[in-house]
Homo-oligomer: A and B are copies of this chain.
Amino acid sequence: MSSNGQSDAMSQGAFRALADPTRRRILMHLSKGEMPIGDLVDQFAITRAAVKKHLVILEEGELISVHQRGRERINRLEPKGLKSVSEWLNYFSRFWDDRLSDLKAAIETETENQIQRKK
């Protein structure tokens, strides 16, 4: 196997957390700004307890962090977990990623132009 073993072990919690569509929706909401559980519950047709369970799993996957503020607990998007998933995925990017090559081509052209202009 060689590559990616450690990164895979670290991101297990994140992969698990992302498997559920409700949890991904929660992340989408939190991407617009941190908020307490109450605000999230309003967005879903499930009970507060169910949302709370999702938040715990998201926290375990290091996709969110929780911060006490008075009697509220604020849930905030946490880059760490997402980053580890992205890094795992990156190992496979050579099989499909047009973005990288497109970007590379674009930058090369751009750089050439800059150099042209400098002359």
Interface residues of A (CB under 8 A from B): 1, 3-4, 8, 12, 15-16, 18-19, 21, 24-25, 27-29, 31, 77, 79-80, 82-83, 85-86, 88-93, 95-97, 99-100, 103-104, 107-108, 111-112, 115
> Is A1 a contact partner of B25 (Cβ separation < 8 A)?
yes
- Complex CA–CA separation, A31 to B92 (angstroms): 7
Partner pick for A111 among B28, B86, B111, CB 8 A cutoff: B111
Counting from the closest, the 6 A-B pairs by CB-CB distance are A79-B96, A19-B19, A111-B111, A83-B96, A79-B95, A107-B107
Residues of B within 8 A of A96 (CB): 79-80, 82-83, 86
